[in-house]
Structure 1
Amino acid sequence: MATDTAAAPQVARSTEIDHSAEERITRLIALFVASGYVFYLILLAPQIAAQSQCVHILWTIGAVAAIFAPPAVFGIAAFRRRFDVMRAAAAASVIGYILAALSWRLAWDGELIPTNSFWVADIPGLAGLVAATVWPPRRTIIAFFVATLSSLVPNHSGRTPDHSTPVLPDVLFSVSFSLLFVAAALMVVRAGRLLDETRVTALSAAASAASSQARTVQRQRFNALLHDWVMSTLLAASKQGNSDAVRRQADITLTKFDDDGRDDEGYSVAGLLAHLRIALNAIDDTTPLTWTVADDGDLVFPGEVVRTVTAASVEALRNSIRHAGPTATRDVSIRITTAGFNLTVADTGVGFDVHKVPPDRLGVAASIVGRMQRLTGGAVDVDSRPAAGTAVRLSWTRS
């Protein structure tokens, strides 16, 4: 029996898996669109003031509030990750713009203005972008076309004849100019959603791989029992016949098979170490395993706990072999107590910055961190820094 080995340098702590890709992309687009509204409000301010002379002042105040206030709430909600508020603000932005454009004629005093466009007709695409951020494609496209058609009301009612243009070219230009951006926003959000779905599939595959690995380890243990006990017992029986020694050996063999069949109920200390050693040796049989049992007694550990921690330690060792570098040395140590156990996979390799690991790197996020976080009583700590090695600490505490 040996003592624990020293851990590698520790400077950083692993973080939980970040929010979904769809949420991150949605927030970025929402902040971009909200900034666009602020930019257009500043840009259109002189035009709003000049064109307010031909409509009732209350309409101008109400239209500015209806068109620009909800997007401000939309941007703040995106910054604070309030997706429920974002959806409500998006609906208010689209409806506010459509109502403002359609109600323009009610507030108009009948005076024609020599202008190429009324300010309210310049930004139907922003309403479509807001919708694309949180709504499905069909609803977004409908909202965009309704907003675009609504913007024609002031343009084809209040302009002087020398500034008027045919309706069809106006519609085609407005649609073609803005639809590209709306479609791009829809595709970017969809890409984030597909990335999340792919990630969920990969996590499921990782869980299946862990289950398969557990079955492989169990099969190896069974093969070892067959070789070490069943075959030796049969060989002894063929030479010694029905002797007392052969009967005792047969009883021991049956007892070992009974103990192996109870692994789902729990692992003894020896069973835990055997399970761990077999799994690690399947990856690299040169990495030493050292252990310390701090308390004497007949300790039993749940089978699910042993298999989960073993699978996570195997992934940590596999990552070390892949990324630590050709000159790195590795060791695995475990300290067992009545309260649980602590297992460390350490190396002296190149290390990495744990805060810069992308969430789609499933070796860390799913196979190590996610697996241990789903285990009741489980905990994980990934300590590393560039050029100073890595230590992955896995622990389980009885509840």
Structure 2
Amino acid sequence: MAPEGSLREAWEQIPSPGRLGQGLESFAGRRIERLIAIAVGVGALALGAQALVAALSTLRFVDFPHIGTMLLVFVPWVAMLVACAVGRGVRWAAGTFTLAYILVLILWPFVAVHSVAVPNHQPWIFFLVNVAGVAAVAAFPLLVQVLWALGGPLLYGLVRLAQGDFQREFWVTTAFDVSFTLILGLVLVTLGWMFRSVAAGVDDARGRAVASYTEAAATAAREQERVAVAALMHDSVLAALISAERAGTERQRDLAVAMAREALTRLANAEADDAQEGSDDPVSVERIADDLRHALVELDADAELDQFGHGAVPDHVARAVALAARQAIGNAVTHAGGRGLAIAVEGHGDTGITVKVSDTGGGFDAEQVGPDRLGIRASILARMTAVGGVATIESDGHGTIVTLGWSRP
């Protein structure tokens, strides 16, 4: 692979600023969810194992209703344990177990043997009431968790009384079991809500701190860049002025002109990513037109670009023309809303190039542009002057036309 392609591929792998902080904003929340999954798995393993032993020890009839009921609840239970252990699919597995347990509770009065029901011995489904409660904490929103914590024990109590044919002996023990599971379920829901709220607060504080630090770092970088550009321009302009003042021969005057052009180029490229002047290698007019088409896509501008003629210009000229045209396009999009935006790129063989950027906006008065606004002076006029080109701006109430031209000396 060519070095240029390798660099391009490496550049594409660098995360953009919008993706750089993804994942950090929910760091504490993800850790809390993992801890909740582990706690759910441990609790479900302990209570579920009790339920499984009780179910197997009290199994009196090996038939489809009894075996099917056990499989209906214990298969999702095993799946939930595996999901909690690996940390994947916890919500789905826990939600499936909760729904399966509700279905088993509904079917229990039709499957259970009423004649062998003993008031002081809970059926094996009792041990899974709070397992379903912690599964709801891991799987569902807070409202559903509260509804299950209140309704789940009551549903179990109703099923237990139905198994005992609502005899008086079952009311006392069932009321005790229901109150115990009700209190424990509400405690589990409260703990889950509290831990998640704390984690959300920590993540929010971290996000605000990172945003504040980013803003401060950007401000410091801008100030440092401003100081560096000011120092650079001071040295470059001062050196050019001294050289021009002392120029007494043709060679000295040419040197002074070259130093002035270099200073203008540095000023014009101060906001560009690559402040180099470029080389003298030829660049085709088609490539300049393609660069401007990419600029239209980046700015999301609906415009027409026409390319006429052919030819090539030196690389540093192509760089200056493209950047100046990009600035003109950006001005048209920003200040004219992109109305009537059109770009024409015309090549004159090896003798030069002309680029026109026009819009039908409200126009502006160039004399009223403040001296601190470098979008026109530096990025367009100075940039073209630095490479020996010409830039003209015509603007009135009907629109603006920016013409960029360069001819080979």
TM-score, normalization: structure 1?
A: 0.51
Residue matched to 1:118: 123
**Structure 1 counterpart of 2:136, from 131, 144, 147:** 131
Residue matched to 1:64: 70
Offset at residue 177 of structure 1 (A): 1.9
Provide the C-alpha distance between the structure 1 equivalents of 2:86 and 2:54, rounded to a whole number of angstroms.
Answer: 33
Q: Is the 8 A contact 2:27 2:203 kept in 1?
A: yes
Offset at residue 93 of structure 1 (A): 0.5
Residue matched to 1:266: 274
Residue matched to 1:87: 91
Letter in 1 for 2:274: G
Residue matched to 1:11: none
**Structure 2 counterpart of 1:144, from 138, 144, 149:** 149
Could you give the per-residue CA deviations for residues 51-99 of structure 1, whole angstroms, max 9, x where no partner exists? 444x88544433333333213212323443433xx33212211111111
Change (3 A) 1:155 1:259: same
Could you give the per-residue CA deviations for residues 234-284 of structure 1, whole angstroms, max 9, x where no partner exists? 8999xx799998997697356325314314240459xxxxxxxxxxxxxxx
Change (3 A) 1:65 1:190: farther
Change (3 A) 1:246 1:206: farther
Could you give the per-residue CA deviations for residues 98-121 of structure 1, whole angstroms, max 9, x where no partner exists? 111121111133324132532212
Change (3 A) 1:171 1:90: same
Residue matched to 1:48: 55
Offset at residue 206 of structure 1 (A): 4.7
Residue matched to 1:286: none
Residue matched to 1:96: 100
Letter in 1 for 2:184: F
- Which structure: larger Rg? 2
Residue matched to 1:162: 169
Change (3 A) 1:266 1:226: closer
Offset at residue 33 of structure 1 (A): 1.6
SS state at 1:182 partner: helix
Change (3 A) 1:203 1:259: same
**Structure 2 counterpart of 1:212, from 207, 219, 231:** 219
SS state at 2:153 partner: helix
Provide the C-alpha distance between the structure 1 equivalents of 2:204 and 2:139, rounded to a whole number of angstroms.
Answer: 18
Offset at residue 132 of structure 1 (A): 1.4
Provide the C-alpha distance between the structure 2 equivalents of 1:227 and 1:46, rounded to a whole number of angstroms.
Answer: 86
Change (3 A) 1:17 1:268: farther
Change (3 A) 1:88 1:61: same
Could you give the per-residue CA deviations for residues 300-332 of structure 1, whole angstroms, max 9, x where no partner exists? xxxxxxxxxxxxxxxxxxxxxxxxxxxxxxxxx
Q: Percent identity?
A: 20
Change (3 A) 1:26 1:220: same
| Higher normalized contact order (CA 8 Å, seq sep 6+, divided by chain length) | 1
Provide the C-alpha distance between the structure 2 equivalents of 1:132 and 1:218, rounded to a whole number of angstroms.
Answer: 52
Change (3 A) 1:114 1:152: closer
Offset at residue 224 of structure 1 (A): 1.2
SS state at 1:103 partner: helix
SS state at 1:101 partner: helix
Letter in 1 for 2:94: A
Provide the C-alpha distance between the structure 1 equivalents of 2:196 and 2:154, rounded to a whole number of angstroms.
Answer: 25
Q: Is the 8 A contact 1:31 1:75 kept in 2?
A: no
Q: Is the 8 A contact 1:124 1:148 kept in 2?
A: yes
Letter in 1 for 2:119: P
Change (3 A) 1:266 1:106: same
Alignment RMSD (CA, Å): 4.3
Provide the C-alpha distance between the structure 2 equivalents of 1:60 and 1:202, rounded to a whole number of angstroms.
Answer: 58
Residue matched to 2:43: 36
SS state at 1:164 partner: helix
Provide the C-alpha distance between the structure 1 equivalents of 2:146 and 2:273, rounded to a whole number of angstroms.
Answer: 57
Residue matched to 2:389: none
Residue matched to 1:177: 184
Larger CA deviation: 182-191 vs 17-26 = 17-26
Q: Does 1:221 align with 2:225?
A: no
Letter in 1 for 2:109: R
Provide the C-alpha distance between the structure 1 equivalents of 2:202 and 2:122, rounded to a whole number of angstroms.
Answer: 41
Could you give the per-residue CA deviations for residues 142-201 of structure 1, whole angstroms, max 9, x where no partner exists? 233332222113332334633532876654432212211122123324444554455455
Equivalent pairs, count: 253
- Long gaps (5+) in structure 1: 1-15, 270-297, 300-399
Offset at residue 218 of structure 1 (A): 1.3
Larger CA deviation: 244-253 vs 71-80 = 244-253
More helix as a share of residues: 2
Larger CA deviation: 158-167 vs 170-179 = 158-167
TM-score, normalization: structure 2?
A: 0.50
Change (3 A) 1:199 1:98: same
SS state at 2:118 partner: coil
